[in-house]
Amino acid sequence: MLNFSMVPFASGACRDAFKATVGTDGTYLGYGEGSELVIKAMKPALWNRGVRLTKIDVDMQNEAVTLANSFTEKFKPTKGGKPCKLYMRGCKLDPCVRDFVNKKGTAIFRKGENTAVEQIINGDWEKFNSNSGWSSGTATLPDAFSHWTWVQTNGDMLVCDLQGHRGHPGGPKYGDDDGYYYLLTDPAVLSKDGRFGITDLGERGISNWFARHKCNGMCEGMKRPDRARATLTSKRGSMYSDEV
């Protein structure tokens, strides 16, 4: 049994997020009893445009998980002499078995609609960079990770649109980490062939991202595209492929 709110507690560029908890009568999608989860559904405006959450979105985010793990293993990043690991939340696809309607009669989840389910991220929320090259300028590690993903995949992919919680001593723990860490979710992946959905701006997006990216100390020695040109507007929120 999954107990969930019908009122979103947060909204991203593409999805609304609803809090949920696994009940006391078993597990849900492999998440144990009492697990605090988030259900993410496509925002109504995008749903009405025909945009759907699919396995591609889940595969994209889980690809980002693998790259985040590899990045942390390779660089073993630190802050103040202490480990500062970078994590990415994975997610699971979960189709609705019936309509769920709120008190006003508005359909929140529709029968057959796919949702994404993942564990909640506790703590203050920050946006670190976007898929159009915007950067908060306050976080070295996420920007370097985005740059590295392009290098690691031989120019095929770039993980960006990074957001989540920046852990610090005295803040929420994550596993055994009670100090510094980054716990991220809802990335975009830019690919050469634009295969990862509406936030994948393709090869043009990769070029635009690098034209706006300012390399930091962690980027030292990493390759960049030979000719990167800024051809898209830089904005904090996600840009959609049909805006390019």
Domain of residue 27, CATH code:
3.20.200.10
Domain count, the chain: 1
Catalytic residue among 161, 177, 178, 242: 161
Known active-site residue 124 = no
Q: Give tens-digit pLDDT for 32-59.
A: 999 999 999 988 888 888 889 999 999 9
Domain carrying residue 130: 2-243
Q: Give tens-digit pLDDT for 68-94.
A: 999 999 999 999 999 999 999 999 999
CB 118 within 8 A of CB 91: yes
Has this prediction a pTM greater than 0.85? yes
Q: Give tens-digit pLDDT for 115-166.
A: 999 999 999 999 999 999 999 999 999 999 999 999 999 999 999 999 999 9
